Every structure is written in C-alpha cells, then in structure tokens.
C-alpha cells in the first residue's frame, strides 16, 4: 500500500460451508483481529501500514474433508459482510 489502510477481509466457502474452510493464517506487518466466525465463513478487520504486505492462508478444519472442486471467496472491502 502507498499509505496506511484499514479494511475487512471477508471469507466465505459459499459452495459448501459444511467443509468449514477457514483462514488459518494472516501474515502481515500491521494489526488484524477476527470480528465474525461461523462455519465456512468469517470476517477480519485489518490495518496495514504504508508499504505493507498481506498474505492469507486458507485450509479446511478437517484435512480429510477437503474438496478441491469447492470454491471459496476472499474479498477485501470497506465493510464486513456479517456482523
């Protein structure tokens, strides 16, 4: 980023939430905390300083219940999807 920025990371395993995919790691050089969590979906608030980097790792809660054909979405936005 060219300057500090606050935003939300919205995550949803919209094709099959029962797989309970989730964000396992947010690697960043700023602040982040989870504001919502439910099966297969969650929201995080993030502040990223100027010239910051952000990496997100997603995985299944249960490694046996992985379906490589199930899609999920990660969105960066000004508002959370869920409260």
User: For 27-74, what is each residue's pLDDT tens digit?
Assistant: 988 899 999 999 999 999 999 999 988 999 998 888 788 888 999 999
Q: CB within 8 A of 83, min separation 6: which ones?
A: 35, 36
d(CA 78, CA 41): 17
What pTM, to 2 d.p., does this model score? Answer: 0.88
Query: What length does the chain have?
Result: 83
| Dihedrals phi, psi of 38, to nearest 5 degrees | -145, 175
């Amino acid at each position: 980023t060219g300057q500090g920025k606050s935003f939300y990371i919205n995550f949803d395993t919209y094709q099959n939430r029962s797989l309970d995919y989730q964000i396992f790691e947010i690697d960043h050089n700023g602040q982040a905390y989870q504001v919502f969590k439910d099966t297969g979906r969650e929201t995080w608030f993030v502040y990223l300083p100027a010239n910051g980097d952000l990496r997100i790792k997603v995985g299944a809660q249960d490694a046996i219940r992985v379906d490589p054909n199930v899609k999920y979405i990660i969105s960066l936005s000004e508002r959370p999807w869920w409260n």
